[in-house]
Structure formats: structure tokens, C-alpha cells
Structure 1
Amino acid sequence: MKTKLLIAFLGLTLFSSSYAQVEATSFMTDLNEPSAIVNQGNVLYVQGPKEIYRIDTALDNPSATVVYTAPTDYYMSNLAVDGNKLYVSEEHYDDELDEFFGGRIISIDLTVAAVEPVVIYTTTRYISALAVKGPFIFFASETDPVGDDNFIVQIQRIDTTTEVAMPSLFVDQLTQDNAVNDMHFNGNVLLMSVGGDSVVYSHDITSGSGSATAMLTGLSFNKGLFVSGNTLFTAEGNSIRTRSFDNASTWASVAVNTAFQDSNNGIPFNANFRDVVLIGDKLYMTLQNQGRVMMIQDTALSAKDFESLKGISIYNSRTELNINGLESNQMAAIYNISGQELVSKQVSASANSFDISSFSNGVYLVKLENGTVFKFVK
């Protein structure tokens, strides 16, 4: 047993609901304990304890290519993607000594093959999850345990534009003795999934540091999160559920695993999903102990989640970019051709413009929340 990163994850609850749900099927097999999963357009990045895999879902016969392997005595716990960079949290743990030496956050440039990762932050603490917003990385940091697993989880952030990253405290005490399993942004609201509490917490970062709110309670073995437009996807045991941010109390189960089983002391149970992403009308989920990425395809997903994006178009002059046809609020970001985020904000039908007067002449990309990308030239 290698620390809390590699403990056994058990979830014996079976889910049932009146909503239609699809049995997930294998999409990719023979991976090493795939856990967190993110996407950059059609490309999946899947994280295990030692490897990060790249899978291009647009190919007819996709394969998993290792793009990063953690060094000896380092083990990955989570990852996030922002533009052309992957940010990964790792723990430094010596197997032979059975001793923990701290954590770190690294960045990987996806535009350069076989590039060495850059260490941007080190700490004596364990980091369990992270999320990126603009130049800031928000991460779940655990205080040094007193005795056996007696620790407090705090949310901190670092500024990636500074030469030496210094952490600032954002949430002083999120929870105790239970790790944050995943973090994701919905606009300016940071969502934090804590399976041990059966809660998804939230905190509006525009309000500064403070306490988090229990946004969703009474969940069961909740782990990974994914936000698409106005919809939240949660990996809960062997089920993937969706909720609208307008009515989070009403949920639908859209994917389930009953084909692959793990066991606890010889007692079988349906293997649990660890994380989830949506690309178009396909959901991709990880089954850690099975070494699998699972998938379902359901046209109702894209029709429901992206219906507000129909008819969207962009127009720009030399000083302003407008996004037309919005029927609901969306986060939008502008990137240069190198993948660097230049500006991001929430747009709507009544507030749909960006000031681009300071931009140099060239080609730029506009990306909406669901991954839809437009190109424009100034």
C-alpha cells in the first residue's frame, strides 16, 4: 500500500432511478489504473499513478500513447488541462522507506514532443486535486496529519505567472480527514467533490477567500466531476449522474456499469467510475481497478446540453469581438495560436462582446464552455 493515493476504493451502493441510463462499454483497455480524465477537444488525457495516456477519440482506431511517466518514487494524484498545458499534482513517496516526502505541481507543454515537465510548485503537503482558472491553479492541500489520517483539507492557489509560486489560502477548512477527489470550475464557481463526505462543495472565487458551501449533499461514493454548459456530470459509484445548475436537486442517471466487477474480501461489486468527460454526444469514464476507459454514445446528451449553442456565430472588428446567438450564459475564452489564454469571461445574449483593441494582428481562437471553438483573424 503506497499512501492514500493507492488505497482501495470501495463503493457497494447500487443505484436505481426512473431515468433512462445506458450500459457503458469498453473504449480502451490495458491501462495502468486510469483515474482522472480530461479532454482537449477530441483528445483525452488519462492519468494513472505513473503514466499519462493520450487518446485521440477522432481516429477510427484510437490507441493510448504514454506522454508522461512519473519518475521513481513519484505518483500522480490528479491533472487539469488549460490550453496547451497539462498541470499535474504528484506525491513524492519512497516505497522502500515507506515515507512521504511531500507533493508538487508540474506543467507539461503539449505542443512539444518528449518535453521535460516543469516543476512550478513544491510543498511538504499532499495535494489531491487541482483546477485552473486564468493564471491561477487552485488545489486541495492537506495539512500534516496528527496521528493516523487526522488532517484538515484547505484550498490554496498559486499564480503561474510569477517566477516563484507562493501559495495563498482560499478556503481555510473545507473538510477533515477526507480527500478532495476532483475539482472543476462552473464559471467563477469552484466545485470540489469529496466522496468521503458524500458532498460536492462550491465557492465563488470572485468573493475572495472564505468558507465553502455544501452545494450537493447525500451523494454516494462521488468522485469525478465534469461541467458542460449548464449541466454537471458526477461519477457516483457505478453510475454517472447529471444535474442542471438551475435545479441541482433533480438528477438523471445517464450511464451505468454492471458488466465489470471488483471485489472486497471476496465479495463482488460493480466497479466504480472514477471520472468523466463529455465530447460531443459521447461520455468517457474511467474504471480504475479494471484498467479501462468506458464509453457511451447518446445523442440526447448533446441535444440537451448544447441546445443553447445552436445558431451561435462570431463577428469581429479591429476593436471588438461579438458572440451572437447565445440563449444562456456561457464562459468564453480567447487564445492566441500558441494556445495561451489571453482573456476569459462569462458572456450572454445581452453581454456578448470582448474588447480586442490591444490584440496584435493575427489568428485567434474563441472557446466556449463545452469545447466548441471558433477561429477569427484580426
Structure 2
Amino acid sequence: MEHPAESASEAASDFAGAGFRKIIHIDMDAFYASVEQRDNPALRGRPVAVGGAAARGVVAAASYEARAFGVRSAMPSTRAARQCPDLVFVPPRFDVYRAVSRQIHAVFRDYTALIEPLSLDEAYLDVTADQRGIGSATRIAELIRGRIRADTGLTASAGVSYNKFLAKLASDQNKPDGICVIRPGDGAAFVERLPVKRFHGVGPRGVERMAALGVQTGADLRAIPLDILRRHFGSQADYLYRAARGIDLRAVEPDRPRKSVGGERTFAHDIGSGPALREALADIVGIVWARVEKAGVRGRTVTLKLRTADFQTLTRARSLHRAVAGEQEFADLGRELLDALLPLRQPVRLMGMTLSALDGGGDPAIASAPEGQGSLPF
């Protein structure tokens, strides 16, 4: 039998003895595109897409001017150009983005040793210890944003809260160049107003499955008993149950190693022919490699995943003695793995690509926290 949902005050009381964490989520605003606009004044104020303009190109990032036309990352370039005829395509400069990311992380380290990078342009920071005695988590977030602007000429948005889930939601609330603070006791109320598509980890398919249950908002999700969530969402159910209540017990993990970077796509119609599968693979390669570059990692193992119409899963992998050299080699290895499986007895409903055996991934953060300065207000 499931227990009734915790109220916001009950959830808050769980932390009363030890005190709340103070978590900041920093997310750079349209990072790649903003770097390009910073470095090329002719691009400022114009709709910019970082990525290839070729027929099989993929948008790696879009400026806010381009987003106004519906252009988004991972969108095929041909579709982006149709939606925004004046779109300017700029080839990515990942070495530059990584250098700017190092500048940003240097700013973080002036305020805390507990930094969990998510990619080149976003990270969680635990500032509970207040190592510089600033006195307010919100003030620390504002100082970080100001330093980033001064050091890089770029803007960042920040979310400040008592857990990672809420801090990430908050950083997206007032973008671009904004800050949002969710204080203890306010998390559940904040979450209940949000559409579930805003929840980190809930993709388009998850939104569709929730809609079938009549779930559109955090409040709708909170009304679903845990046993029903488990029936429909399996291992994700417990996360959804807690998230709908503004609860997240995860600590900031500065030494957490990233194990892989990948992506997959479920097709609207099953695909059986070799040429169509190769074309689909090329699209997935572009999307996944953009994520690899954003994460700032390199890896040695390429894995191809296929799920056939009868729900059988096929995986094939190849490992090199060195890191995969670039997107072209990643694509070549994926195509070799696919060709070795052809012809297939069943058409394919899902395809995915993953890069693993990773090394790199940004500057390492110090894993231990300094001596604290007492409880830090929000």
C-alpha cells in the first residue's frame, strides 16, 4: 500500500536537522552561438545556427534570434533553414568553446570546490560551505554571473535552490541573463505549476505517455499514485514521484565520471531498407557528435543499437586503441557496424549510437569541501 504524498512542509522537515543544501545551477545562454556573436560583430542581432548547412547537417546550437523562429539544437539544418530563411550557419569551433568553458570553471572554483560539470556550458555548484563568507547563496550566484560577464563577455542564467532538481528548473525560468531563487518550502508549489515537459529527463515520448494518463503539469503528476507510475514508467517512477513534490536528495558530485555519450531515435514508421537505415544513421551521428563536443569528451568505443519491429534489441560495438578522431570516423565506424548486420530479417523501429570508454570532459574539480562558515542563507 502506498503512503500519502508528502506535503512541502513535511519534505522540508526532513532536512531541518542537518540544514538545507544551497545549490546553484549555472547555464550559459545560447553558449556556442553567443561565443560566435561575441567574436564576430556582424552576427550580433541576427539569427545564428552553429552547425553544418549541408543536407545532412544538424544544428548544434541556436541564438535566441533563431529560437524565435523555432530553431533548436539537434534539428536538421534543412528544416531550420525552412523555418528561418535568414538563418546564418556558422561552423563550430569547439576548441574555442572549450577554452571559454575553462574560463567559466575558473570562476566557479573561486567560490566552491564542489562543482559538478554537466557539459561545457552548465554545472551544479554546492555553495553550502560559503568558503568566502559572502553570506547568501543568491549573492554568490550574482557574483558568479557578474564575473562570467566580465571575464568572457557572455551572459549566464542561474537557478538557486535547496536541491539539484529545483536549481536546474530555476535556471531556465528567467532566461536569458536571469536568476531565479526557489527557497525551502516553495519547491512543491513551484513544481506543481510547471508543464511536465520542463522536468529534466522527461523527453517527448515521456510527455506523450503522461498525456495518455491525463498528466500535463506537476500538479497532475503529483496526483498519480506511485504504484501506477511504476506500472507505466518503471525505474523512472520514483524519480517522477519525488520530482512532483520538489524532492531531490542527490548531492553535487564533483568527481562523477561520465561513462558515455549517446542518443537514439524511435522512427515514426519501421525502416527496413539498407539505404534508409544508413540515412537515419547519418542523422543520429550528427546529433550524438554534437553532444560529444558539448560534453568536451573523447572516447574509444562506438556502439550501435537497433531495436527491430518484434522488439528484439541488437547491439554491436567496436573499440579502438585510441580515441575516435572526429565525427567522420565516428560515422564510418557506425556505418561499418550497421553494414555488418544487414540485411535484417525484421525492420527497425529504433536506432541509437553511443561513444564510451571516455577520457577528458573538462577540468577536474576538487572532491573535498573546505571548512564551512556556518549555515548559508538563500
TM-score by length of 1: 0.28
TM-score by length of 2: 0.28
Q: Name the structure where helix makes up a greater proportion of residues.
A: 2
Larger Rg: 2
